[in-house]
Amino acid sequence: MGERFKTRTLAVSRALARGIGWRHALPSKLDRVLVAHNLLLGDTLMLTPLLAKLRANHPAAEITLLAAPPFVALYHGRPYGVRALPFSPSSSATTRALLEEEAFDLAIVVGDNRYSWLAAAMRARHIVAHAGDSSWTKDVFVDEQRPYSSTPEAWGDMVASLVDGAEPPRYSRSDWPAPAFTPFERPARPYAVLHVGASTPLKYWVPSRWKEVAADLERRGIDTVWSGGHGEEAVVSAIDPAGRHPSYAGRLDLAQLWHLISGARALIAPDTGVAHMGRAAFTPSITLFGPGSAVLCGSGDFWSDAPQRALTVDPFPCRDQRVLFRRELDWVRRCTRTPAQCASPRCMEAIGVDRVLQALDELLGARG
């Protein structure tokens, strides 16, 4: 019996005890709130506007966020007083631990509505999710469905609309305490982090352009350090085969990477989870949007005070898919094609070095 099957069996058996077909009213007082999902790093960090809104409107509530086990360390300092608990569908042990939790007054399910079954299994009294998921079976325990925005909006701001109340203050540097971390050797001189990896090769930028940016940073008196995830060491080697600049690719856990980024003069990265980490760390950041949407994954209102620049070519002819978490939205323009479907990331190649250098001028001051 596989771990995912065990996880599903645990959640289904407990959820059915809640009763199918009943609609449960929202309790008048919220003491315990759950945010349930199984999202990637960037999407998880984009839930921050929701957490901030919950805290602003329910200052005494215990707010619990589910997160993939490697992400939990980022929440060690409890931003917005949030408690992060590990959850992975491929680890039934995490599900067993969640089912031992006390009941929740409210559960907010984001992304895939199938996790409303987990919220029901965790005895949530009222479950809210976005409408329009791909199968009615995902919604049998959802008490309240709310539509996605009909006009262009950042996903983080849309997620925050799943709860009522006043909008929270915009994000500031002090809102997220730095996580505890295992010490590692950090650069001794001023440096910038160039994170070259991504979830798909279609988000990789042209190697020679990374080298041009590194040369420009050197003229500014700023060292370059390369960054990438586990298994992306070869991406760095393709850009800097001689190893002129130090590489942290595959060497750091997420808490260590947070501290590397937070100490940097700048972060430059494709539209990936690390770019969102830079935003949360309040590091001057430049994000290269190729297949992804700079609207959906951009700063929106909540993050608008963070020092960042989003670079994209918009409109781009083949950035034409309109689906977001299996819901079709008329205004969405993104691309989720695979390398087998797209031979070359023309959308990334269209972003020139001159635009990155201009953004660096704006964030760090013009070159001397």
Three-state secondary structure of 238-284: HHCCCCCCCECCCCCCHHHHHHHHHCCCEEEEECCHHHHHHHHCCCC
Cα 292 from Cα 82, distance rounded (Å) = 29
3-state SS class at 237: helix
Burial class (CB in 10 A: 0-12, 13-18, 19+), 10: middle
pLDDT score at 21: 66
Low-confidence stretches of the chain (pLDDT < 70) are: 1, 21, 366-368
3-state SS class at 66: strand
Q: Which amino acid is at 164?
A: D
pLDDT score at 1: 62
Q: What is the rounded radius of gyration, in angstroms, for the C-alpha atoms of the chain? A: 21
pLDDT score at 7: 86
Burial class (CB in 10 A: 0-12, 13-18, 19+), 166: exposed
E strand intervals along 38-188: 62-67, 83-86, 106-109, 127-130, 144-146
The CB density around residue 210, as the number of other CB atoms within 10 Å, is 24
CB 303 within 8 A of CB 171: yes
Bridge partners (DSSP) of residue 224 are 192
Cα 77 from Cα 142, distance rounded (Å) = 31
Q: Residues near 153 by Cβ (< 8 Å), separated by ≥ 6?
A: 295, 300
Please report which helix (H) or strand (E) contains residue 224, including its range.
Answer: strand 223-227
Q: Which amino acid is at 40?
A: L
Instruction: Return the closest-CA partner of residue 279 out of 36, 48, 35.
Output: 48
Please report which helix (H) or strand (E) contains residue 349, including its range.
Answer: helix 346-349
User: What percentage of the chain reaches a pLDDT higher than 90?
Assistant: 91
Q: CA neighbours within 13 Å on the CB side: how many for 198?
A: 23
Q: Which amino acid is at 142?
A: V
Q: What is the residue-averaged pLDDT of the chain?
A: 95
pLDDT score at 69: 98
3-state SS class at 361: helix
Burial class (CB in 10 A: 0-12, 13-18, 19+), 230: exposed
CB 285 within 8 A of CB 306: yes
Q: Which amino acid is at 168?
A: P
Cα 323 from Cα 5, distance rounded (Å) = 28
pLDDT score at 368: 44
Tokens linked to 29: 């007082």
CB 279 within 8 A of CB 363: no
Q: Tell whether pTM > 0.85.
A: yes
Q: Which amino acid is at 73?
A: A
